[in-house]
Structure formats: structure tokens, C-alpha cells
Amino acid sequence: MSALLAVDGLNKRFGGLQAVKDVSFALEAGSITGMLGPNGAGKTTLFNLLTGFIAADTGKVEFDGGPLLGLAPYRIVNRGLARTFQLTRPFLGMSVLENVEVACFAPRVRHEGHARARARAMLEHVGLAPKAASLVDVLPYGDLRRLEIARALATRPKLLLLDEPFAGLGTSEIQPLADLIRELHRKEGLTILIIEHKLRELMQLAHEVIAMDFGEVVATGVPAEIVRHPRVVEAYIGKAEIGESGGALGAA
Amino acid sequence: MSIHRTDWLGALVVLAALALVPAILGSTYVTGIMTVALCFAMWAASWDFMSGLTGRENFGHSLFIGAGAYTAGFLNVNFGASPWWSLAASPLVAVAFSLVIGFPTLRLRGPYFALAMLSGAAVMQSLTIIFSEYTGGQDGLNGLFPFFDSELAQYYLTLFFLAATVATLRLVANSPWGTILRAIRGDEASCQAAGINVTFYKIASLMISAAFAGLGGALYAHYQLQVGPDLFAIILSINIIIMVYVGGMGSIYGPVGGAILLILLTEALRAFSEYRLWVYTLILMLILFFLPQGLVAPLWRRLRTIVQ
């Protein structure tokens, strides 16, 4: 199977800080890949580089048979690469349905049927249909996460980048969302790259894990290997998350 | 009755009232005030379309008004063109100005657009003084022709264009285009992540806003029969923003009501002579303090639920 996304030698420096350093990896079409690393490892910066929100210094990104670097964010979305934000960013003052409808107006999907009907279908997909008419301003956090995913799905992506989808969610909200992500992958063959701090969920979802530290890829492999990799243990487990990830390691 | 139908009904009632009142009163004084009020209503509605919907404040709407008015003045006074040509030329020139300001600044985030509009209007006002041999300086250009000799006919022409402006802007604001503009107000980055070319929509909506402001400038110029540097003044832009706030931002029809209300209020307060500005400002402060959502649009929304 050929790679849907191929990143080659990507670099980004902010002043004296090398946020992303010579990062290379490839994503197989139809895979779920996890991205692991402590805070400040460069994961979100990498997402911003891939989606055009920040310009890369050097490097190459091939997506679905064409280069991505240098394209404006909205163009990248219309090429089939969508993202969610770490901190949810809804369109305040608009209804849940309208929030998703906006994405249905993207040139990539504008001609695929009635926008309102498509938006409603997306909400049904993520389980938000009963709240279609409510104002996003009053939505609880877990629903905002689902809304972010619905909005991204409305652009019918080939690759979906999820930036810490479980952050700030309670235990009861995490499992349904993980199930949703798994279902999107299984039913629609969506390729997914997911940043997550919660090791347990990530290990259950991902086929392969890329570990980052100090802007570099320090290890790549199947989840079981990655959690035993010395660089990962040193970089990730050595810090604040001993209690939680110790449990996850035991489970893995 | 559906919301949509009630809105149409309300619009028709207001339109009928605006059409009948000057005809019934038969006073050229009232007709004149109302003509000016309708011009301000066009400016307020066009401001609201861009800035009210996208939340990108435009502090120099007078740039488009002045550009439209001076275009009418130059064509009519210097080149002897018929006033009717202004109706096409003034919006075009205003749109050209909107591109000059919008193209470089609306790609950026931050206050650049607001500042560029503010200074653009100020620069144009100074230029009318500097190039006084062409522009007439402080005196401006005088002796423009009216569209009609009859005050009432002028009024109806202005009313026709105001109705067309509001109908067009409301139509666009209720289309997918309007949803996108409100999304831009919500969050620009999310809008891009939804695959929307945010810069395009901002520039295009500024162009539309400018076109109708320029059209209003031409109607005003051919009614006053004179254009002057005050049409570029910052105070004009600020007054328009106040009218929008009093009307209710983002509704398009609200600012129309706000403009008419405030112009009539200014006239009604003439009895207070030198205290007029005090009273006017006090009333404004009370409205803005107690009704932060504005007066006209929220009032109509409440009325609409009663009608239904």
C-alpha cells in the first residue's frame, strides 16, 4: 500500500528554539497513527506545519500525490486533509447545525448535495443531532469535541489530524469518543493521525505510534514496542506522568 | 405565519409608511430631512453588511461615501455628465477604494484594516484640501444637478435605492454567504480549517459594502447639490457606527431604523438650541447603556413573536 502522507526532512525554528527538527515519516492510507511526546515536543507545531497554519523553514510534504507546503490552510483542507484544534474553536453565536454547515460550503464538498442536509447527517454521525438547534455557546466540552470532528468530517477528508481529542474529557466521555474514532476508521477507511497524552486510549486506537521529543522523531513502531523503547521511557515516562502511564505500561 | 413571511410583511409596512408620510405631510422640509435620513440609512446598512456580520470594524466608511460623492461631483460639475451616470460610476470608484484598502490589510489579522480605513478617509479629506484647484478645497464642488426638480421625486428615488440595497444585502446575508461571514466573526482559523477562503469573503464583502456606500454618496451629492471635504470626515464614520449600534448590529434592517431615528431625533432636538448636543448625547448614552443589543432590531424580534 502506498503512503497517503510522506513527510521528509521538515524543519521549523522559532528564534532560538528548534520546534521541529528534521522530521520524516509516512502514513499508510487507511491507518490510525498515534503521536506521542511530552509537552513542547513539537507535536502541535508539526500539525500546524502540515495544515499550513505555520510556514515550514525547510522540508517536503507529499499528500495524495502532490506537495502541500506553501499552500494556504483552506487549500490544504480542500485537498482532503482536515484537522481539529487542541482547544475547541467553535463559531460562537451560531447554532450547532450552522457550525457544521460552514464546512459544507468548502469548495471540495460544495456540490455534494444540500449543505443543511449534509450538516445534519454529520451531526447524526457524531451523535450531536439532538442538539442541532442549540447555540454552541452553551455546549459542554465533550460535545464541542464532537462538533470539531463533525466539522472536519464535513469536508470529507482523506486524512484527519486530531489534536488531543480526549484532553479535558471525563472518563465517561472518553470511551464513546474513542469508539467514534474507531468507527470512522472502520466504516469509511479514514486515515487518522492523532496526538494524545492519554497513553491508554492511544495504545488501544493506534496501529503505529510515532514518538517525538525536543522536536525530533525519537522512535516509530507498533504501540507495544514504543512503550518499551528506551528513548520514549526516558523522554516521556521520566516526567510528570509516572502514575498514569505506569498503569498504561502495565496494561500494555 | 412563518418568520420569513412576517419579516416581509414588516418590511412592506415600513416601506409603505416611508412612502406615504412625506406625501401626506406635503412639507418640503420634512421630505428633505427624510431624504437625508434615507442616505444615512443606506450607509449604515452597508456598514453593517461587512463589519456587523464579520466583526471586522470599519472606522472609515466615509472613505467610500466621499469617494462616491466626489465622483458624482467631478462627473457632473467638471465634465457635465448627467446625474444618472453617477449611479454607476460612484459605486465603481468606491469599490476601487475598497480594493486598495482591503487587499493588503484584510489578509492580515490584527487592527490593520480598521486603522487603514480610518487613515484612508483622513488622507482623502486632506487631499481634497491640498488639490483645492480641482476639488474646490473647503468649499467643495458646487452646482451639481438634481435627479429631479421635485423634492418628492428625489425622495422616492432615494427610497427606491434604499429598498433595493436592504433587499439585496438581506438576501446575501441569509444565503450561505452570510453564514460564512458570521463564521468569520466567530473564528477565522476555524473557518480556514473548514476549508473556507476567509480572505476572499472578507474582501468581497467589503467591496459590496463599499458599492452601496458609494451609491448612497452619489444620491446624497445630487440631493445636496454640493460635495465637500466633510463627506470624508471621521465624525461621519463614527455617526454611522452609532446608528448601527442603536439599530442593532448584524441585522441590516436595524441600522436602517437606527439611522432614520437618529436623524429625526437630531431635528426634533432643535428646540433645545445650544443644549441640543448635550441632550442628544445623553439619549445616546442611555440607549447604548440600557440596550447594548440596540433598539430597532431587538424591538422587531419581540414584535414578531407577538404577531405570530
Name the residue of chain B whose CA is nearest to A97's CA. Answer: B179
pLDDT average, residue stretch B195-210: 97
CB–CB contact A73 B192 (8 Å) = yes
**What pLDDT, on a 0 to 100 scale, did the predictor assign at position B288?**
87
Please give the CATH number for the structural domain made up of A3-80+160-251: 3.40.50.300
Name the residue of chain B whose CA is nearest to A114's CA. Answer: B176
**What pLDDT, on a 0 to 100 scale, did the predictor assign at position A153?**
94
**What pLDDT, on a 0 to 100 scale, did the predictor assign at position B274?**
85
**What pLDDT, on a 0 to 100 scale, did the predictor assign at position A187?**
87
Residue from the list B179, B189, B195 with its beta carbon closest to the beta carbon of A89: B189
**What pLDDT, on a 0 to 100 scale, did the predictor assign at position A236?**
65
**What pLDDT, on a 0 to 100 scale, did the predictor assign at position A201?**
83
A-B Cβ pairs (cutoff 8 Å, strict)? 84
Q: Output Rg (C-alpha) for chain B, integer angstroms.
A: 19
Which among B108, B127, B23, B3 has a CA at the least distance from the CA of B67? B127
Parse chain B into domains and list their residue ranges.
3-307
Q: What is the mean pLDDT of chain B?
A: 94
Partner A contacted by B190 (CB < 8 A): yes
pLDDT average, residue stretch B125-134: 95
CB–CB contact A91 B187 (8 Å) = yes
**What pLDDT, on a 0 to 100 scale, did the predictor assign at position A248?**
44
CB–CB contact A73 B176 (8 Å) = no
Which among A131, A133, A102, A135 has a CA at the least distance from the CA of A118? A102
The rounded distance, in Å, linking the Cα atoms of B266 and B32 is 14
- Set of cell numbers at residue B44: 449604515
Residue from the list B182, B186, B192 with its beta carbon closest to the beta carbon of A74: B192
Note the pLDDT tens digit of each residue in B158-188.
Answer: 999 999 999 999 999 999 999 999 999 999 9
- Mean pLDDT per 10-residue interval, chain A, length 252 residues: 88 93 94 90 94 95 94 96 93 95 96 93 93 94 92 96 89 88 89 88 90 91 87 69 45 38
The answer to whether B63 touches B236, Cβ cutoff 8 Å, is no
| Cβ-Cβ contacts under 8 Å, B182 against chain A | 91, 93-94, 98
Which of B190, B191, B201, B249 to mutate against chain A (most A CBs within 10 Å)? B190
Note the pLDDT tens digit of each residue in B64-122.
Answer: 999 999 999 999 999 999 999 999 999 999 999 999 999 999 988 888 999 999 999 99
Secondary structure percentages of chain A, helix, strand, coil, to 5: 40, 25, 35
The number of beta carbons lying within 10 Å of the beta carbon of residue A28 is: 15
Which of A88, A102, A145 to mutate against chain B (most B CBs within 10 Å)? A102
Choice among A106-115, B32-41, B217-226 with the minimum mean pLDDT: A106-115
| Cβ-Cβ contacts under 8 Å, A154 against chain B | 194
**What pLDDT, on a 0 to 100 scale, did the predictor assign at position B159?**
98
Note the pLDDT tens digit of each residue in B252-289.
Answer: 999 999 999 999 999 999 888 888 889 999 999 999 89
Residue A83, phi then psi, degrees to nearest 5: -140, 165
Looking at CA atoms only, how far is residue A250 from chain B in angstroms? 38
Residue from the list A78, A101, A115 with its beta carbon closest to the beta carbon of B195: A78
**What pLDDT, on a 0 to 100 scale, did the predictor assign at position A238?**
63
Partner A contacted by B180 (CB < 8 A): yes
The answer to whether A38 touches A196, Cβ cutoff 8 Å, is no
**What pLDDT, on a 0 to 100 scale, did the predictor assign at position A197?**
78
Partner A contacted by B191 (CB < 8 A): yes
In sequence order, the 6+-apart residues with CB closer than 8 A to the CB of A103 are A109, A119, A151, A152, A154, A155, B194, B195, B196
Name the residue of chain B whose CA is nearest to A102's CA. Answer: B180
Parse chain A into domains and list their residue ranges.
3-80+160-251, 91-156
**What pLDDT, on a 0 to 100 scale, did the predictor assign at position A237?**
61
Q: Which residue has the cell 447527517?
A: A121
The answer to whether B64 touches B209, Cβ cutoff 8 Å, is yes
| 3.30.70, 1.10.3470, 3.40.720, 3.30.160: CATH of B3-307 | 1.10.3470
